[in-house]
Each structure stands twice: as C-alpha cells, then as structure tokens.
Amino acid sequence: MAQPWQTMMFTGMAVNFIPLLGPANPMSYDTTQYYNNALAICGGLGAAALSFRLIPPLSPAVRTSRLLALTLRDLRRLAAGSIPRTPDG
C-alpha cells in the first residue's frame, strides 16, 4: 500500500474484506449471514456504479477550463520551486 498506484486498490480490497469475512477471534460459520452480507455488498457496489451513470458528465468547456487551471497551477509551482535532487547527483 506504500506505492501511490496501489493505495486505492488495497483500500477497496480492505473495505470489502473486513465486513465480508469478518476477521475476529470467535469463529462462527453462519452461511446465511455470509451470503446476506455478500449480497448487500454487491448490491451497494451496483447501486454506486448506477449512480455514476445517473450523474451527467461535465461539458467540454468546463473540463477544458479545469484542465488549464490545473496546468497553470502546476507550472507556477514548478517555476517557484527549486530543482529536486536526484539520487544519482
């Protein structure tokens, strides 16, 4: 989870692992409860995916202005900061 590209993947895995398998000291094997929790998690994920389809996308003009603003912010940050040192030099 230390790598930036893995953070979201492992967070999602942990969020689904803990309620589904319920790691705890007392072991209880209730198949009905397991399937009920699994169905609730899958239903919630499906509802979340459906909600993304219901939200209208931003217009191209708004996306372009946001991209330009973020690019300008990054360029200002790079121009104001010092050059980062590399491990070789």
Is 2 contained in some domain? no
Residue length of the chain: 89
Is 61 contained in some domain? yes
CA atoms of 20 and 41, how far apart (whole Å): 8
Q: What's the pLDDT at 24?
A: 66
Is 58 contained in some domain? yes
CB 16 within 8 A of CB 40: no
Q: What's the pLDDT at 1?
A: 52
Q: How many domains does the chain have?
A: 1
Q: Provide the residue range defining the domain that includes 75.
A: 7-80
Q: What's the pLDDT at 23?
A: 66
CB 37 within 8 A of CB 19: yes
**Residuewise pLDDT in 10s, the chain (89 residues):** 566 667 777 787 777 777 777 666 666 778 898 899 889 988 988 998 898 888 888 899 999 999 999 999 999 988 887 766 777 65
Is 89 contained in some domain? no
CB 41 within 8 A of CB 34: no
46 contact partners, CB below 8 Å, separation of at least 6 = none
